[in-house]
A = this chain, B = another copy of it.
Amino acid sequence: MKPESAPPPWIELERLLEQARQTELEAFLETLSPRELALCVSRLDDDRRARLLAAIGPDDAAAVVEQIPEVQAVDAIEMIEPETAAAILHELHDADRVDLLSDMEHGVAEAILDAMTDEEAETTRALRDYAKDVAGGLMTREYLSFVDSMTVDDLLADLRANASNYRDYVVQYIFVTLPDGRLTGVLRLHDLLFAAPSRTIRELMIPNPLSLRGDASLNDVRTFFDRHPLYGVPVVDDQERLIGMIRRAAMNEALTDRSDAAFLKTQGIVGGEELRSMPILQRSRRRLAWLSVNIALNVVAASVIAMHQETLAAVIALAVFLPIISDMSGCSGNQAVAVSMRELSLGLLRPSEVGRVWLKEVSVGWINGLALGGLLALVAWAWKGNPYLGLVAGAALMLNTVVAVSIGGTVPLLLRRLGMDPALASGPILTTVTDVCGFLLLLGIASAMLPLLT
């Protein structure tokens, strides 16, 4: 049984790191589950994290790198000697190696590439040339491919001889190329089971395999895997030469990364992952960049109130309804934003269908506006005993609910058509427009009915 005062495991890790004994560090890391490992290593400061990776063997260091957040892995590897860094990166899958190197400073990445074998450096550079969200950026080079004239016997001999090299390779398919590198067929491993050893793989392969181009978008890749129940797809260049393959799992990970990033952006965490182990000033600066846009928009919206001070002074009770209308319109609008973003990502909505979304939202908006406005009207009436105050507050909320769902439903489509990111900009646009409209409605209707309110 652990005593209650046992220090958390990252303190033990720091202690072992001070003594810097490789075998004890490796033995300690062995005792941790992957999630405990991630937790412990992510709690170290940048300096210690780099020292840990350098102190243990490259294969153990690679196992650590696979578990911790990418942003921490990049920072730590940048601080290590290029030779050690190259040895660690060598132990990773090529796609992971490329992801890390692309996020490093150019000079550091080049130094590490120079410390790799020529072949590994060349493959890595070739993969790095693709953006992360196109087919080329999702692909791996760790698959089996052979020239079509090879016999089954030679192929099996090659598999046996290179068993250890191929250990981490994708083996579901074997790609078959022409001597000039063009993809010509695919061979399933179990097709080899029943084949006579002297046959060539050209005779056994499925010819004209499906493939994607290196510049196909992530959505194209998803469409491909939606349509074909395959484990992976080969990628070719514009000369039809085989340049890589994409596993279905790599696509799934990219889609998950994309929705995680969208979640963070809608919540105002912009520019990548924030971890609480990052320096306070860095976290503060990144959050402030987003907040300062919002405060400027808020001041603009609030200036509508400033222009109606006489109405407010006459009926001070109206001030109570300003934040309610602002908040509730935000809630209604955000629901519409979420449904639009979801329908867009499910492919159930085309960015051009602004009119359809607007009609669908307006119907819901009137019903919900009536319900919420009616409720607020009753509360206001009961509070001050003046039915007209209820009418003003209720009407403003009702109308502004319709405005909010109209804006919330359509803005993500318009942003998508403009090539902008709906996750990033929908929220601030929604809030500002609905605040301005809501304040104008409440104070405008109130000034028109002022004699009945005082």
Q: Which residues of A contact B (CB under 8 A)?
A: 33-35, 38-39, 42, 67, 69, 156, 159-160, 168, 171-172, 189-190, 192-194, 223, 226-227, 229, 248-249, 252-253, 255-256, 259-260, 262-264, 266-269, 273-277, 280-281, 283-284, 287-288, 290-292, 294-295, 298-299, 301-303, 305-306, 309, 312-313, 316-324, 326-328, 330-332, 334-335, 337-339, 342-343, 346-350, 356-357, 360-361, 363-364, 367-368, 371-372, 375-376, 379, 383, 431, 435, 439
Show 8 A/B contacts (Cβ-Cβ < 8 Å), sorted by A: A35-B226, A38-B346, A69-B348, A189-B190, A268-B334, A288-B372, A294-B327, A298-B323
Q: B266–A267 contact, CB under 8 A? A: yes
19 further A-B pairs in the complex, CB-CB below 8 A; given A290-B331, A295-B372: A35-B226, A156-B194, A249-B249, A259-B259, A260-B342, A263-B338, A266-B267, A268-B335, A269-B342, A276-B339, A276-B343, A281-B367, A287-B364, A294-B328, A298-B327, A299-B324, A301-B323, A322-B323, A323-B326
Q: Give chain B nearest CB distance to A126 CB in angstroms.
A: 24
Q: B346–A324 contact, CB under 8 A? A: no
Q: How far is the CA of A358 from the CA of B148 in the complex (A)?
A: 63
A264: which of B330, B342, B367, B372 is its contact (CB, 8 Å)? B342
Q: How far is the CA of A453 from the CA of B453 in the complex (A)?
A: 27
Q: Which residues of B contact A322 (CB under 8 A)?
A: 319, 322-323
Query: Looking across the interface, which residue of chain B has its beta carbon closest to that of A443?
Result: B319
A335: which of B67, B290, B306 is its contact (CB, 8 Å)? B290
Main secondary structure on chain A at its contact with chain B?
helix
Q: Give chain B nearest CB distance to A146 CB in angstroms.
A: 15
Q: How far is the CA of A360 from the CA of B431 in the complex (A)?
A: 28
Q: A347–B35 contact, CB under 8 A? A: yes
Q: B256–A287 contact, CB under 8 A? A: no
Q: Which residues of B contact A356 (CB under 8 A)?
A: 276
Q: B283–A328 contact, CB under 8 A? A: no
Q: How far is the CA of A314 from the CA of B137 in the complex (A)?
A: 62
Q: Give chain B nearest CB distance to A406 CB in angstroms.
A: 13
Q: Which residues of B contact A303 (CB under 8 A)?
A: 320
Q: B302–A312 contact, CB under 8 A? A: no
A295: which of B67, B290, B324, B357 is its contact (CB, 8 Å)? B324
Q: Give chain B nearest CB distance to A94 CB in angstroms.
A: 14
Q: How far is the CA of A332 from the CA of B367 in the complex (A)?
A: 32
Given contacts A249-B249, A287-B364, A316-B313, contact A324 B302 (CB under 8 A): yes
